[in-house]
Amino acid sequence: MTLTQSNTIEQKEVFLELTIDGQTVQTRPGSTVMEAALANNIDIPRLCYHPELSVSGGCRLCVVNVEGYPNPTPSCGLACEDGMSIQTQNEELFQTRREIIDLFVAEHPLDCVTCDKAGSCQLQKYAYEHNIKETSHAFELPRTLYQDDNPFFVRDHQYCILCGRCVRVCDEVVGAHAIDFAGRGFECHIATPFDGPMKDSACVFCGNCVQVCPTAALNPVSRMGKGREWELERIKTICGYCGVGCQLEYALKDGEILYAQATSDGPVNGEMLCTKGRYGWDFATDPQRLTSPMLRRDVAYEMGLTKEDWTLPEESPLKVRKPNIEDSFVPVDWDTALDLVADKLADTVKEYGPDSVMGLASARCTNEENYLFQKLFRLGIGTNNLDHCARL
Amino acid sequence: MTNSIAEIRDADCIFITGSNTAEAHPVISYEVIRAVKRGANLIVLDPRRVPMVEHATLFLQAKPGTDIYVFLAMMHVMLREGWANEAFIAERTEGFDEFKGTLEEYTPERASLMSGVPVKQIEAAARIYANGERAEGKSAYIGSRGHSAILYAMGITQRSNGTDMVMTLANLAMLCGQVGKPSTGVNPLRGQSNVQGACDTGCLINVYPGYQKVTDDEKRKAIAQTWGVDDLPGEVGLSIVEAMQATAEGKVRATYVMGENPMMSDPNTSHVEESLRKLDLLVVQDIFPSETAFLAHVILPAAASLEKDGTFTNTERRVQHIKPVLQAPGEAKPDWWITGEIADRLDKKLGVERETEQWLFPSTEAIFDELTKVTPIYAGMNHARLVGEGLRWPCTDEEHPGTPILHVGKFSRGLGKFSPVTANDPAEQPDDEYPLILSTGRVLYHYHSGTMTRRSGPLDWVQPRGYVEIHPEDAAAIDVLDERAVTIESRRGSVRTRAKISENVPQGTIFLAFHWREAPANMLTQDFALDPVSKIPEYKVCAVRLENPRTKQRSPKPVMEM
């Protein structure tokens, strides 16, 4: 789905018919040749074009031949017309595109052997497809700024090809407009206002710019130097934060998450995520994670598991600056903990009745878990004293 | 949500109220921004100048708790100007005549006086919303009336009249026929990954899975049969806040908490703590030693959502499959395993014998299959069908494709019912002693009680410390400077944090997020007046005062405006 496409249901379906590479293609009025081609699995090389963003037409890689047009025309901005005949691949287009890539790599280091993006870099892909080992022009690096001013992403300007996808996603989708083109000619680069630190800009660290960047100009900090694209295991799941339910994919190496990103087939979020979803997963491996069932020291003493008696401090846990769970709890095995809970619940039900027990389920647990939890209360204990944080 | 997230980008008018969309639901805000870039009108009604206001055509800054007058006045204007959708009202709704009469007294002039929103803004909002007017560009839809969608969140529901507020928004949508079509509807944005699912599966005091009332004998007994018994409890239980009261009184003796942190998230923390300390048994099952865990007798280590298998239901009713990405640390186990084990052992201690296995499941898939048997809105689902885009309830049989838009052609109950609503003010109003209003909420980089996000390196880097937003005039009144310490006091307690002087809050209102354990906002919030139907506490309005800890100056009594 793109900015220009809509989900219109009520409008009457009107279709245009055109031919792309000899294939007859139907499309809606207002769509571009690029959109019509992609919808029919016809792949046109592209760098600045992104299906979720407006058309920029800057990279020229997506040029196609249109019957009756004297010159190759960029397909990303070309409106479909009824009866149009398009060619996306031929020797002339190949040479045109090869020259464009040649110019790109005249100012883009070809150090793919150490680059984190190698394997998913779009420029690398097209250089390979067009058989470019090095530039035939004089190599000159106009942009050398390296900005690692935040723990979310690194901006390495030497890899930037000025496609402007990051600028467009920040403005058109996120609405932050934290970055834009600054300077002219060789000075041109993507910048925050006055080239200040990212944190002082309007940036909300959603990382959607990193997601749409075709090269290594924007890379997540968490993955730098930790693995090559083809070594990573990828697992698709649903984000655990808010109720939007974004689909995302974790890239892991040796069981460690290197980064998270959206996938283009996410039914809710497409290729977009927010800062929590994209960067907030490292809590899972925090050393404070609970790793064993535990009993409070006074309970453990009563059961003869510890030698020293203990009483719960009167001071609120909120007042303790850095509370340490081991000061008040001792680890036990699962059987001890589960039997104790079942014992005490049974005693309470027998002595005070089922309505003396309360359950708080969780809006962060799965449907299956919440279902079983409410069943425990209703069937196992016999009460409807059962609530969760929907109200909070 | 009655409608879909993806439809928002095609709306002609979007009306956001009581939702800080850009911070609490950023990905939904992207859809709103796309719509605005294509020429849709955005109306924001909120006491705070939330980030979405930057993109709005119209910002109605109503004083906290007075938005109800604005909604009623908008409907008053719609009827006066003939903007109501009479055909829709006649065909699809009932109770309109009675309802119409109740609107007469709620004039825009009165609303303006109460809320501080100019009459002209109320009239413009009524016109734009009712007719689905665009700012520019062509609508994606044909027809004389554009499509308007309402988005709301806890700013509407966390109020002592929250149910009335939601009904008012439903009335507003029905009055204009802005429901049952794409890019329209009344769309609550839900805050947590599976809050929709926890409600759907019946973790509520008054309903069994699939919103089947506990008091409905027939439905309850049908569920009982599936579970192998004759009947199940048929009386409405105690809500969280009521349970805290009952615990203080000694009526509740044992509490089992799964993945929740009431010490941070429930109103009136001192009272919550007092109650929890009285329990004979407090079991806390969590991924981190939360503030609540420190008061527990037993702590059970759970696997995080990144470490387990199952399903989540999102705010647009989409049931999606989650997959394990990491291994759970140490002996941590999925919550379903722990709960099943406790239930099985409890049966044995109570001497209950069951004919068929009720607790020990081999997989989450097996649990889901049982769930769909007792949950009619999930009846057509199974894990295999959820692959890819998931399914949206109601999905009543295995051929059913799911339901993207609710109330198409007819309402779930048949005819849409207009429910007359009277404007009620918040339970605790500012007075001479506590002259300011406190509103609580969230910030972009943190989530709920902060257990997860405050342990995330990048997120905590942006916002490592709590703060309270104070209007420059209110700060000047006690000589507090930006970034300096300030104490907030209510009748329940006090917290100290740093001041962030900001015109994003109106004079007389302060805002404190509830993520910070060093400055727990819920020490201040009130738990005495809940919404009578939904039992939601009024997190969005309570009376407070500020104190400068250095000079001991306190917020002055309000000056009467003449």
Same domain, B362 and B507: no
pLDDT at B561: 55
Q: Are A385 and A352 in contact (CB under 8 A)?
A: no
Q: Are B464 and B549 in contact (CB under 8 A)?
A: no
* The domain made up of A108-231 is a member of CATH 3.40.920.10: no
Same domain, B254 and B351: yes
* B409 falls within a domain: no
B230/chain A closest Cα distance in angstroms:
11
Same domain, B341 and B444: no
| ipTM of this complex | 0.96
- The two beta strands, A180-182 and B58-60, are unpaired
Residue B413, class by beta-carbon neighbours within 10 Å (0-12 exposed, 13-18 middle, 19+ buried)? exposed
d(CA B27, CA B5) in angstroms, rounded, equals 9
Same domain, B163 and B225: no
Cβ–Cβ gap A340/B197 under 8 Å: no
Output the average pLDDT for chain A.
94
Is 80 exceeded by the pLDDT of residue A2?
A: no
The tens digit of pLDDT for each residue in B147-166 reads 999 999 999 999 999 999 99
Q: Is A353 on the interface with B (CB under 8 A)?
A: no
Share of chain B above pLDDT 90, in %: 96
d(CA A278, CA A283) in angstroms, rounded, equals 13
Instruction: State the Cα torsion B457-B460-B462-B464 to the nearest 10°.
Output: -140
Query: For the CA atoms of chain B, what is the radius of gyration?
Result: 24
pLDDT at B557: 87
Q: Is A357 on the interface with B (CB under 8 A)?
A: yes
pLDDT at B534: 86
Give the residue-averaged pLDDT of B63-74: 96
Give the residue-averaged pLDDT of A208-212: 98
- Residues of chain B positioned with their CB less than 8 A from the CB of A277: 27
A349/chain B closest Cα distance in angstroms:
9
Q: Give the full edge-to-edge strand order of the sheet including B310-313.
A: B310-313, B318-322, B391-392
pLDDT at A3: 39
Share of chain A above pLDDT 70, in %: 96
**Sign (positive/negative) of CA torsion B296, A289, A303, A334?**
positive
d(CA B221, CA B154) in angstroms, rounded, equals 34
pLDDT at A125: 97
Cα angle A269, A270, A271; round to 5: 105
Same domain, B259 and B358: yes
A11, A235, A391 member nearest B323 (Cβ): A235
d(CA A363, CA A359) in angstroms, rounded, equals 13
* Among candidate residues B166, B189, B212, the one where a domain is terminated: B189
The tens digit of pLDDT for each residue in A94-122 reads 999 999 999 999 999 999 999 999 999 99
Same domain, B238 and B356: yes
In this prediction, residue A238 has a pLDDT band, given cuts at 50, 70 and 90, of very high
d(CA B281, CA B496) in angstroms, rounded, equals 32
3 state SS of A346: helix
Same domain, B382 and B281: yes
B262, B298, B316 member nearest A337 (Cβ): B298
pLDDT at A12: 56
Same domain, B516 and B463: yes
Give the residue-averaged pLDDT of B490-512: 96
Residue B331, class by beta-carbon neighbours within 10 Å (0-12 exposed, 13-18 middle, 19+ buried)? middle
A366/chain B closest Cα distance in angstroms:
5
- Residues of chain B positioned with their CB less than 8 A from the CB of A296: 296-298
- Residues of chain A positioned with their CB less than 8 A from the CB of B461: 150-151
In this prediction, residue A360 has a pLDDT band, given cuts at 50, 70 and 90, of very high
Give the residue-averaged pLDDT of B236-260: 95
Same domain, B174 and B222: no
* B398 falls within a domain: no
Q: Provide the 10 A C-beta neighbour count for residue A12.
A: 6
The string of DSSP letters for A301-335 reads HHTTS-SS-----SS-GGG-SS--HHHHEEE--HH
Same domain, B58 and B169: yes
Tell me the Ramachandran region of residue A304: left when phi exceeds 0, alpha when psi lies from -120 to 50, beta otherwise.
Answer: left
Cβ–Cβ gap A268/B5 under 8 Å: yes
Q: Are A50 and A165 in contact (CB under 8 A)?
A: yes
The tens digit of pLDDT for each residue in A84-101 reads 999 999 999 999 999 999
> Which H/E stretch holds residue B36?
helix B26-37
The percent helix, strand, coil of chain A (3-state, each to 5) is 30, 15, 50
Domain that holds residue B272: 195-392
Nearest to A203 by CA among A175, A233, A165, A224: A175
Cβ–Cβ gap A387/B204 under 8 Å: yes
Cβ–Cβ gap B238/A338 under 8 Å: no
Q: Are A128 and A97 in contact (CB under 8 A)?
A: no
- Residues of chain B positioned with their CB less than 8 A from the CB of A281: 306, 456
The tens digit of pLDDT for each residue in B273-297 reads 999 999 999 999 999 999 999 999 9
Q: Are B214 and B208 in contact (CB under 8 A)?
A: yes
- Would you list the domain boundaries of chain A? 16-89, 108-231, 233-287, 290-350, 353-392
Cβ–Cβ gap B327/A255 under 8 Å: yes
Partners of B313 in the beta sheet? B319
- Residues of chain A positioned with their CB less than 8 A from the CB of B246: 358
Output the average pLDDT for chain B.
95
Alpha-carbon distances, residue A255 vs A235, B267, B307, B329 (angstroms):
11, 40, 12, 12
The CATH code of the domain that includes B109 is: 3.40.228.10
Cβ–Cβ gap A8/B54 under 8 Å: no
Cβ–Cβ gap B301/A293 under 8 Å: yes
Cβ–Cβ gap B298/A341 under 8 Å: yes
Cβ–Cβ gap A339/B283 under 8 Å: no
Alpha-carbon distances, residue B417 vs B77, B301, B414, B550 (angstroms):
20, 47, 9, 56
Specify the number of domains making up chain B.
3
Query: Which pair of structure tokens corresponds to residue A297?
Result: 């020291």
Same domain, B313 and B339: yes
- Residues of chain B positioned with their CB less than 8 A from the CB of A384: 205-206, 214, 233, 235-237
In A233-360, at which residue ranges do the beta strands (DSSP E only) sit? 233-238, 247-253, 256-261, 294-296, 329-331, 357-360
Give the nearest chain B residue to A285 (CA atoms).
B329
Residue B97, class by beta-carbon neighbours within 10 Å (0-12 exposed, 13-18 middle, 19+ buried)? exposed
Give the residue-averaged pLDDT of B16-40: 97
d(CA B59, CA B47) in angstroms, rounded, equals 10
pLDDT at A175: 96
The tens digit of pLDDT for each residue in A328-357 reads 999 999 999 999 999 999 999 999 999 999
Cβ–Cβ gap B298/A250 under 8 Å: no
Q: Are A158 and A170 in contact (CB under 8 A)?
A: no
Cβ–Cβ gap B34/A236 under 8 Å: no
pLDDT at A390: 73
Lowest mean pLDDT among A13-17, A44-48, B58-62, B429-433: A13-17
Class of domain A16-89: alpha beta
In this prediction, residue A7 has a pLDDT band, given cuts at 50, 70 and 90, of very low
* B362 falls within a domain: yes
* B559 falls within a domain: no
3 state SS of A38: helix
Nearest to A37 by CA among A45, B168, B393: A45
Return the exposure string of A132-160: e unless at least 16 CB atoms fall within 10 Å of the residue's CB, then b: beebeeeeeebbeeeeeebbbbbbbbbbb
Class of domain A233-287: mainly beta
In this prediction, residue B331 has a pLDDT band, given cuts at 50, 70 and 90, of very high
Query: For the CA atoms of chain A, what is the radius of gyration?
Result: 29
Cβ–Cβ gap A366/B281 under 8 Å: no
Share of chain A above pLDDT 90, in %: 93
A75/chain B closest Cα distance in angstroms:
22
Same domain, B259 and B344: yes
The CATH code of the domain that includes B243 is: 3.40.50.740
Q: Which of residues 201-260 of A touch B (CB under 8 A)?
A: 204-206, 221, 235-247, 250, 252, 255, 257
Query: Which pair of structure tokens corresponds to residue B44?
Result: 């924001």
The tens digit of pLDDT for each residue in B464-483 reads 999 999 999 999 999 999 99
Question: Best of A283, A305, A314, A377 to disrupt the B interface by mutation (most B CBs within 10 Å)?
Answer: A283
The tens digit of pLDDT for each residue in B350-360 reads 999 999 999 99
Is 50 exceeded by the pLDDT of residue B347?
A: yes
